Amino acid sequence: MKIGIPASRGYAIGQAYIKKHVELHITSDTPKDLLAEKELLHKAAEQSKKQLEKVRKKALESMGEEKAMVFDAHLMLFDDPEFIGAIASEIEGGKNALKATQDIMDSYVAIFESMDDEYMRERAADIKDVAKRLMNNLAGIDDSFNIEDTNTIVIAHDLTPSDTAQLDRSKVIAFLTNIGGRTSHSAIMARTLEIPAVVGLGDITETVSNGDILIVDGIEGKVIVDPDHETVTKYVLLQEAYNKEKEELKKLVDTEARTKSGKRIDVAGNIGKPEDVHKVIENGADGIGLFRTEFLYMDREEMPTEDEQFESYKYVLDKMEGKPVVIRTLDIGGDKQLPYLVMPNEMNPFLGYRAIRLCLDRTDLFKIQLRALLRASVYGNLKVMFPMVSSLDEFLKSKELVEECTQELLAEGHKVSESIEWGIMVEIPSAAVMADELAKYVDFFSIGTNDLIQYTLAADRMSEKVSYLYNPMHPAVLRLIKMTIDGAHSQGKWCGMCGEMAGDETAIATLVAYGLDEFSMSASSILRAKQIILEQE
Ligand code: PEP
Ligand code: MG
């Protein structure tokens, strides 16, 4: 049996198909004719575009418009003068096309991978995917799939988004990879396709052969090779039970999450872009518990204007029809950079100039966002929270700016709701320790466990080397969570959680017992979380 990281839930029994992994041989040789080398690049780019258009069509059929859009982004890279142009200028500088592509890919990937935001880290996978296709075409390598049998379990070193889009869902029932984690692109795609997947298996491409019979357990992250009859029977039963349970879960869309003793708990969704609100609604959420507004600032050349931001906030508030919408103010800085904002270089960006620290320094930017939020407030049930608050002063200063903006807007003839709630994210240990004091001033807390865990245990959330220390159930983390919830309640305030831990099935019971009032998570986890809450005392 092999154990990896469970990336997408479900069970599968089928036969192995190993995707060939052809190593590219890249040298530093300078080509004789640089013009001809550039011509080669442009031809390979054209070929790649044609292939991608086909992949996009397939993705649209099998996964829908939203996932197919990933490939629009890939196609755009081929027309992006900064990307292809950068490779061409490396060639002009004397590199061969393969080496030039690899170097440009590495420099782009290094920038994206250093960002602490999952969405931006995924962009690194896009660059790799596009560059790999280009390099294969430059080297004349064809690594497309050729799957003929149904009940196929695809095994690969890693799967890129375009690999995943090519998977024929009528034949492929699961996949396994050597590398990757729960937030890697292939894992996210597997959850969208709703096929079981186990990633980070190390050397599965070496230890399994084509045609081997496998059982994939996407819940526990297990792979069983050549199972005996008894084991197959056991998993067939587990599979049936799982499918039945999934169907059952859909019945909970309109059910309120209430414990057996009657405590009503809000199960909300996390979003990054206004359009994400639709999946959250489909899954029966009680509200939005975290709108990460920094996404409105990314992927563009300049700051979003007050009007643009107003439209985005209003859109989400409208769609949620009076249900609570918690919008977090800009959490940018440190390692999350904006191309149009010059930032200092820091040794420890996670402990540096970011989030509320940056906003209180750049009040010109902060006020634009606050004004947009205040103007949108009359369209629904708005709650605003500030990220990375480490002391009361930051909250009070933010509120002063809110007051200033409110007066300006009223004088200009705008309306502003009087019932907005103002809260903070508790994601720095100092805020958790001082929760009972802070609760006198704020309307609510939302615990950001992604950061709280890394700061409490001094274990960088990005580093694989210390990931064994990054443990949500560490007693020190649990104590801080409990202190935060108790601190809120001591002043009659509510406390939510919007870090990944809120959707972690193994943590929900503990958090309910601690008295957490609101859980906010990705849309696909909502129904299961509701079910677990319904089972609690
Ligand atoms: C957190 O830190 O838990 C959180 C929700 O914020 P982010 O992941 O955006 O840092
Ligand atoms: Mg955070």
Query: 32, 67, 35, 74: which is closest to 52 by C-alpha?
Result: 74
User: In angstroms, how far is the first alpha carbon of the chain from the final one?
Assistant: 37
pLDDT at 484: 98
The answer to whether residues 412 and 392 touch, using CB atoms and an 8 Å cutoff, is: no
Residues 6 or more apart whose CB falls under 8 angstroms from that of 259 comprise: 265, 512, 533, 534, 536, 537
In this prediction, residue 182 carries a pLDDT of 65
| pLDDT at residue number 165 | 67
Pocket test for ligand 1, best of 115, 389, 451, 481 (most atoms within 8 A of CB): 451
Active site residue 359: no
146 is in an annotated binding site: no
What is the C-alpha separation between 196 and 187, in angstroms, rounded? 9
Residue nearest atom 4 of ligand 1, based on CA coordinates: 448
Closest ligand 1 atom to residue 116 Cα is 10
Largest CA distance in the chain: 78
Contact residues of ligand 1, CB 6 A cut-off: 290, 292, 331, 427, 448-451, 498-499
106: left (phi over 0), alpha (psi -120 to 50) or beta: alpha
**Nearest listed ligand to the Cα of residue 116:** 1
For ligand 1, pick from 276, 292, 445, 481 the residue to mutate: most ligand atoms within 8 Å of CB.
292
Atom of ligand 1 minimally distant from the CA of 290: 5
pTM, two decimals, is: 0.66
How far apart are the CA of 426 and the centre of ligand 2, in A?
9
328 is in an annotated binding site: yes
Distance CA 268, CA 476 (A): 26
CA gap 394, 491 in Å, rounded: 20
Q: How many CB atoms lie within 10 A of CB 107?
A: 11
229 is annotated as an active-site residue = no
Residue 493 is predicted with a pLDDT of 98
Closest CA to 18 of 203, 218, 217: 203
* Ligand 1 atom with minimal separation from the 500 CA: 3
Beta bridge partners of 264: 258
Sequential pLDDT tens for the chain (537 residues): 999 888 888 999 999 999 877 778 899 999 999 999 999 999 999 999 988 888 888 778 767 777 778 788 888 888 887 888 899 999 999 999 999 999 999 988 888 888 877 677 777 878 888 898 899 999 888 777 778 888 999 999 888 766 776 778 789 999 999 887 765 556 766 776 778 999 889 889 999 999 999 999 999 999 999 999 999 999 999 999 999 988 889 999 999 999 999 999 999 999 888 988 998 999 999 999 999 898 888 767 789 999 999 999 999 999 999 999 999 999 987 666 787 888 888 888 889 999 999 999 999 999 999 999 999 999 999 999 999 999 999 999 999 999 999 999 999 999 999 999 999 999 999 999 999 999 999 999 999 998 999 999 998 876 657 778 888 999 999 999 999 999 999 999 999 999 889 988 899 999 999 999 999 988 878 999 999 999 999
Query: Alpha carbon of 289 to those of 323, 336, 382, 383, 498: distances in Å?
Result: 10, 22, 11, 9, 6
Spacing, Cα 427 to ligand 2 middle (Å): 6
From the candidate CATH numbers 3.40.50.1950, 1.20.1250.10, 3.40.50.10800, 3.50.30.10, the one assigned to the domain spanning 2-17+144-249: 3.50.30.10
pLDDT digits (tens, 9 = 90+) for 466-513: 778 888 999 999 999 999 999 999 999 999 999 889 988 899 999 999
Residues of the chain with CATH 3.20.20.60: 253-534
Q: Which CATH superfamily is domain 253-534 in?
A: Phosphoenolpyruvate-binding domains (3.20.20.60)
Q: Residue 128 pairs with which residues in a beta bridge?
A: none
In the reported structure, the alpha carbon of residue 361 is separated from the centroid of ligand 2 by a whole-number distance in angstroms of 19
The residue contributing the CA closest to ligand 1 atom 6 is 448
Q: In this predicted structure, what is the pLDDT of residue 98?
A: 94
Q: Where in the chain is the domain with CATH 1.10.274.10?
A: 34-139
| Residue with CA nearest ligand 1 atom 1 | 448
How far is the C-alpha of 184 from the C-alpha of 226, rounded, in Å? 28
Look at the domain 34-139 and name its fold. Enzyme I; Chain A, domain 2 (1.10.274)
Atom of ligand 1 nearest to the CA of 448: 3
- The closest ligand to the CA of 290 turns out to be 1
Q: Determine the Cα–Cα distance for residues 181 and 4; give it in Å rounded to an integer.
A: 9
Phi, psi (deg, nearest 5) at residue 492? 70, 25
From the CA of 446, which ligand is nearest? 1
Q: Whose CA is nearest to atom 3 of ligand 1?
A: 448
CA torsion angle 306 311 314 315 (round to 10)? -150
Q: What is the pLDDT of residue 71?
A: 83
Using CA atoms, how far residue 260 sits from 164, 390, 533, in Å, is 42, 36, 9
What DSSP letter does each residue of 276-342 carry, written as one string?
GHHHHHHTT-SSEEEEETHHHHSSSSSPPPHHHHHHHHHHHHHHTTTSEEEEEPP--BTTB--TTS-
Choice among 185, 359, 405, 495 that is catalytic: 185
